[in-house]
Chains A and B, each alone.
Chain A
């Protein structure tokens, strides 16, 4: 018994240092030396300022301003509306506003819950209202599920190609670009399946929007 106590006490200290300190430091050393971009979260800069992480979703909304030009608030949170010139990410239900990447959370919307239905119906309506003016032939059945449902992390950086192609009509019209040009931009920002089969193709929204901004910068 005494022997077990001594070994356990020494063991916990030694193993804590080895597995809890040396090992993470070793991995950090390798990561910072070999994959510094990845290890630090694939930060993206544009116009000399940090605009986000490539693999963390963000909101492309703008503050709603009142008649006096001041940003409006509702229940302590800044009121925002989609900036229609940008592709929009999936709906997000993080606390403290959409795409709060310091507090990821599940939405936990149940499959048989009235609240889920209400959220879905509202998101579907909003999506149609945003996009139908630019694509009158758009029907409810064409709207892909990812455009309406919240993701698991609520930080999903991607949308489905179908979602992007619907939004392309709006973005092309508002930016005065040919639809084919925007569609080819979507195609070049669509990532394939892992190993050729694992997962679903997705369009990285931040990179796509950055590419759009760069395109305009060059044109003007």
Chain B
């Protein structure tokens, strides 16, 4: 561990908060229809889009109408993406398939389409060995935008339901989506793409480059329109890399500065949405209380991961490596980590992208130490409420808040109230289901894949022995259920002997199980969140009295941490013990 490492972590927390607060204010204005500084520029395109899409933006929708628009739109997105990926060769005439890759197989494409639609971006393919530029741009990049937009609007709708004073309306899905794209995602994405290019992220449509190295060996270097996808991949907490190794690739993440910047844009919208919630609730402290919970759990996770990785792995020590800091080297478990990021930059990035639903990686999580690898799993086990994905984080967290208010109410023996609204059986049931769906999907699929011999085919040879094989399996379905997308990357649903899809085939069992895991764990909680919003929207508001349990102070924050940890721990402890904890407690090699 080094001073610079800890300083980076502290500087990151400060920068995130400083940028998150004003962006939260901006979001609150955008979603309440107020003027913002971009209105003069974007009001025209906004109106044009409504006209082209035939949307009556002012038409209010109740939760069922809102949900129906969302589901129909998602279905259209899935079909188009599946079509584009399956007909990759059909678009060769555009010149955007210079390497001549074949179209995807049906089973892998099912997984990929479901993955990008649900903001998971789990990848059973290597970008630069299977996907044409056409598919990356018109297929995958588009869903990077839209899946992020869908997540955000659900959070906005839920907040509206919670704070609304009258009526059943949650707003209008189409209006929210268009505003999210134009006012929130587009400006930050465009700036980020330019910042990344200024540092060395590539953006071209060239053939792969063939060079002859200094010693005369040939080397082929993959190219492509990377910066445009990289920016929205991170800002929308998508996480699907243009290249197989994601943000570890020097063309996606060229230096220490871009690493810091990329982490910031992953967390900036999830953080700002919390502040937005406080503003829309008319009491900013409501937002601060939740932000405090998130930041506390986040920093705890970072500290554990950093210490564990700086310590080094049993395999390194057995091989006689010195993993201490020495002059000119940061030491630690550098297996699967890039020199320019070091241990701290890798551990922090890992936590940033696993507390959110991003799942981008700049290091190989499979090579993390037992405890270091347990950290992302624990983050996922908390169901992505520590900041969480864009939108998904806030709406999942608000369901936990509801549960915490209920439990707190029971403890002090009063009718639970939240922002002046009485919580009754219907909301608690819906929130409870919304919270338990994701763990259910994760554990069910893990059990299926572990029990069935078809599932064990996906475990990598290296990890075939010992607890690592179970970790790979568990991580795969946990990550897909949480719509995260990071992986113990040895686990595979795709066999590719040669580049270019020739002779490649998917592992149907793994592809389908994962695909359904993602779809189910994305849309079921969305429906429950919208149903909760609908149930709360019409409720009468009673002024807070002496007996009201407050939800905007430190006491409540502590209670909320307790509820999250309790639910996560009770659900996932056995699985965590079987995999990473066993590895972390032993120096034994398998």
Number of interface residues of A (CB under 8 A): 115
Which of A116, A118, A141, A161 has the most B CB atoms < 10 Å from its CB? A116
Chain A residues touching B, majority SS: mixed
B328 within 8 A of A: yes
User: CA of A35 to CA of B460 in the docked complex: distance in angstroms?
Assistant: 41
Do A146 and B138 have beta carbons less than 8 Å apart? no
Q: Closest approach, in angstroms, between the C-beta of A3 and any C-beta of chain B? A: 7
Do B214 and A51 have beta carbons less than 8 Å apart? yes
Q: What are some 24 contacts across the A-B interface (CB < 8 A)? A: A4-B73, A19-B181, A21-B138, A38-B201, A42-B200, A43-B211, A50-B209, A59-B213, A61-B215, A90-B339, A101-B221, A102-B129, A102-B221, A106-B245, A106-B364, A108-B364, A113-B465, A120-B316, A121-B319, A145-B316, A148-B319, A156-B338, A162-B328, A201-B328
| Chain B hits for A107, CB < 8 A | 335-336, 364, 367
A-B pairs, top 7 by smallest CB distance, nearest first, are A199-B256, A194-B256, A162-B328, A194-B257, A200-B342, A144-B329, A120-B319
Mark out the residues of chain A between 115 and 148 whose CB falls within 8 Å of any chain B CB in the assembled complex.
115-118, 120-121, 124, 140-146, 148
Chain B 313-339 interface 0/1 with A at a Cβ cutoff of 8 Å (1 = within): 111101111110011111111111111
Contacts A40-B202, A112-B466 given; does A103 touch B126 at CB 8 Å: yes
Contacts A20-B141, A110-B315, A112-B313 given; does A86 touch B215 at CB 8 Å: yes
Do B463 and A160 have beta carbons less than 8 Å apart? no
Which of B129, B210, B327, B462 has the most A CB atoms < 10 Å from its CB? B462
Spell out B's residues near A (CB within 8 Å): 4, 7-8, 11, 49, 52-55, 68-69, 72-73, 75-77, 80, 126, 128-129, 137-139, 141-142, 145-146, 174, 181, 189-190, 193-194, 197-206, 208-217, 219-223, 225, 227-229, 231, 243-245, 248-251, 254-260, 312-316, 318-323, 326-342, 345-346, 361-364, 366-370, 372-373, 460, 462-463, 465-468, 488-490, 499, 583, 586, 588-590
User: CA of A77 to CA of B503 in the docked complex: distance in angstroms?
Assistant: 20
Q: Which residue of B lies closest to A9 (CB)?
A: B76
Do B217 and A80 have beta carbons less than 8 Å apart? yes
Do B329 and A15 have beta carbons less than 8 Å apart? no
Q: Closest approach, in angstroms, between the C-beta of A26 and any C-beta of chain B? A: 8
User: CA of A63 to CA of B216 in the docked complex: distance in angstroms?
Assistant: 9
Q: Closest approach, in angstroms, between the C-beta of B203 and any C-beta of chain A? A: 4
Do A15 and B146 have beta carbons less than 8 Å apart? yes
Do A14 and B219 have beta carbons less than 8 Å apart? no
CB < 8 Å: which of B129, B215, B323 contacts A103? Answer: B129
